[in-house]
Amino acid sequence: MALEPCNPVTGRPLTTNQLKQNFTDLHKPLNFQQALEESDRCLYCYDAPCIQACPTSIDIPTFIHQIRSDNTSGAALTILSENIMGGTCARVCPTEVLCEQVCVLNVSHQQPVEIGLLQRHAVDTLISNTNKHPFKRADSTGKTVAVIGAGPAGLSCAHRLAMLGNDVVVYEAKEKSGGLNEYGLAEYKMVDNFAQKEIDFLLQIGGISIKNNQKLGVSISLSTLQEKYDAVFIGVGLGTTYRLGLDKEESQGISDAVDFIETIRQTKDKSQIQVGNDVVVIGAGNTAIDAAVQAKKLGTENVTLVYRRGEQHMSATDYEIELARKNGIVIKTWLTPSKIIADEHIAQIECTKTELINDKLTETVFKETIKCDMLLKAIGQTLNDSDLVDLEIEKSKIVVDNYQTSIQGVYAGGDAIKSGEDLTVQAVEDGKQAAIAIDKHLRGEL
């Protein structure tokens, strides 16, 4: 069955230009004047709530003040000194539930300051205008640390370790570095190859080498890294996706939303991407929205998002839910998939209506069948612990104490541990804090 994106109006495939247009920047960057005007709205609060709301504790009022005083590179430095991936976080952070949610302007019923856009303005200006890395390395400690995973946690950890005077070797399973920044976020949030640009910038500090296509359990193992290096940091993220547990789940046309997103990110010519005309996405997080919206942008006629609870329970932010609606996605709640109807290829998904009885989610007898030639599963991911068996793991998260795992000298961070929310910005913070802990450990201070 040939699947190709088509224009919902004409029924013909979208032209290359239409596709290009559909995948442009979701939030247009601020120009210099807009940045000045927006920065002028910031009240420069004391001990500001936005700083507390930021998992990486960026001194937001200070960097906004710096933009206002025409010290954009100083602003970028304020951001990057706490969050080396401030560029990505400015693009993908759910600011409406973090810094911007607590902006005091909300209290007086004004729009909060566009902190994300201002942060992007500062960081992008610095990254695109300078070849000189703004941070210097401390005197060499003579130590070398292995980092597993070149995602936000791993790279943040590597950068801070290098800054503190250590050498770092990063082992990355995939062909490209960046983790979710490169593979797992909607294209319209990370246009113009930003993930790679940010990594290039980050690596300018020196002392970090990345070895790609090095999969844990295949070409490397935790024990060999422990032997070879002074310390190890694990930032492997959540490598396993949950299954629906239904018959015929292996039918054609059924895949993980993360794989679909990865394909979109890695395919330059979007017209080459296979997509259905009746796409059903199962799930309610930002990954589900990223997949659903991008399916629509590829030209899918009907995109339906199915979630077993109510809209108020969705983990996607209000902004993301609104984005889905604006893109014509039908959101069906209190509905759970119960039967895949397929020959070789999926044709329909039968769902069962649910309800809450005594706070317990309960399936009813009512069914609804949705036409479906592509089913995308976005019901969550979990730690792939098959190669981490020596570590203490609890509720599918590596147990850590100040980022050190149950094995001395082995540290972990990011989505693989339980810190804050599973967010890019939290992973960056984990990497940074773990690096500080590792450095102290290597210096004999811990």
Partner 1 sequence: MAIQKDNLKCTIAGIESINPFWLASAPPTDKYTNVVRAFEAGWGGVVWKTLGEDPAVVNVSSRYGIHKNRNHIVGMNNIELISDRPLQTNLDEIIRVRKEWPDRVIIGSMMAVIEERAWKELAVKIADSGVHGIELNLGCPHGMCERGMGSAIGQVPEMVEKVTRWVKDVVDIPVFTKLTPNITNILWSAEAAMKGGCDAVALINTVNSITSVDLDLMAPTPTVDGKGTHGGYCGTAVKPIALNMVAEIKRNTDTKDLKISAIGGIETWKDAAEFIALGAHGLQVCTAAMLYGFRIVDDMIAGLSNWMEEKGYQSIEDFRGMAIPNTVDWNALNMNFDTKAKIDQDSCIECGRCHIACEDTSHQAIEFNVADDGKRTFTVIDDECVGCNLCMHICPVPDCIEMVEVDNGLEYMNWSNNPLNPLNN
Question: Strand 231-234 relative to strand 335-342: parallel, antiparallel, unpaired?
Answer: unpaired
The Cα 71–Cα 223 span in angstroms is 47
Which of these, 234, 254, 252, lies nearest to 244 by C-alpha position? Answer: 254
Q: How many CB atoms lie within 10 A of CB 358?
A: 5
Closer CB to partner 1, residue 68 or residue 176? 68
Least distance to partner 1, CB of residue 251, Å: 49
- Of 105-124, which residues contact partner 1 (CB under 8 A)? 105, 107-108
Least distance to partner 1, CB of residue 119, Å: 19
Closer CB to partner 1, residue 55 or residue 235? 55
For the packed helices 32-41 and 115-129, what is the interaxial angle rounded to 10 degrees? 140
**129's tokens:** 């205008």
What is the identity of the amino acid at 22? N
- Of 2, 17, 28, 46, which lies in the binding site for partner 1, with binding defined by CB under 8 A? 46
- Of 26, 97, 104, 191, which lies in the binding site for partner 1, with binding defined by CB under 8 A? 104
Query: Are 113 and 105 in contact, with CB atoms under 8 Å apart?
Result: yes
- Of 217-276, which residues contact partner 1 (CB under 8 A)? none
- Of 6, 26, 36, 341, which lies in the binding site for partner 1, with binding defined by CB under 8 A? 36
- Of 57-86, which residues contact partner 1 (CB under 8 A)? 68
C-alpha to C-alpha distances, 23 to 27, 244, 295, 318, nearest whole angstrom: 11, 30, 11, 21
Query: Are 261 and 185 in contact, with CB atoms under 8 Å apart?
Result: yes
Closer CB to partner 1, residue 107 or residue 446? 107
Residue 347 contacts partner 1 per CB under 8 A: no
Residue 37 contacts partner 1 per CB under 8 A: yes
- Of 7, 16, 44, 325, which lies in the binding site for partner 1, with binding defined by CB under 8 A? 44
Of 39-47, 72-80, 347-355, 366-374, which part binds partner 1 (CB under 8 A)?
Answer: 39-47
Residue 49 contacts partner 1 per CB under 8 A: yes
Q: How many CB atoms lie within 10 A of CB 113?
A: 25
- Of 7, 15, 20, 40, which lies in the binding site for partner 1, with binding defined by CB under 8 A? 40
Query: Are 417 and 383 in contact, with CB atoms under 8 Å apart?
Result: no
Residue 138 contacts partner 1 per CB under 8 A: no
Measured in degrees and rounded to the nearest 5, phi and psi for residue 428 equal -65, -40
Residue 97 contacts partner 1 per CB under 8 A: no
Number of residues binding to partner 1, judged by CB under 8 A: 16
Closer CB to partner 1, residue 41 or residue 211? 41
Of 35-43, 148-156, 215-223, 337-345, which part binds partner 1 (CB under 8 A)?
Answer: 35-43
Residue 52 contacts partner 1 per CB under 8 A: yes
- Of 43, 218, 356, 446, which lies in the binding site for partner 1, with binding defined by CB under 8 A? 43
What is the identity of the amino acid at 9? V
CA angle at 255 for the pair 254 and 259, rounded to the nearest 5°: 160
- The DSSP annotation for 63-107 comes to HHHHHHTT-HHHHHHHHHHH-TTHHHHHHHS-GGGTGGGS-GGGT
Interface with partner 1 by CB under 8 A: which residues? 36-37, 40, 43-49, 52, 68, 104-105, 107-108
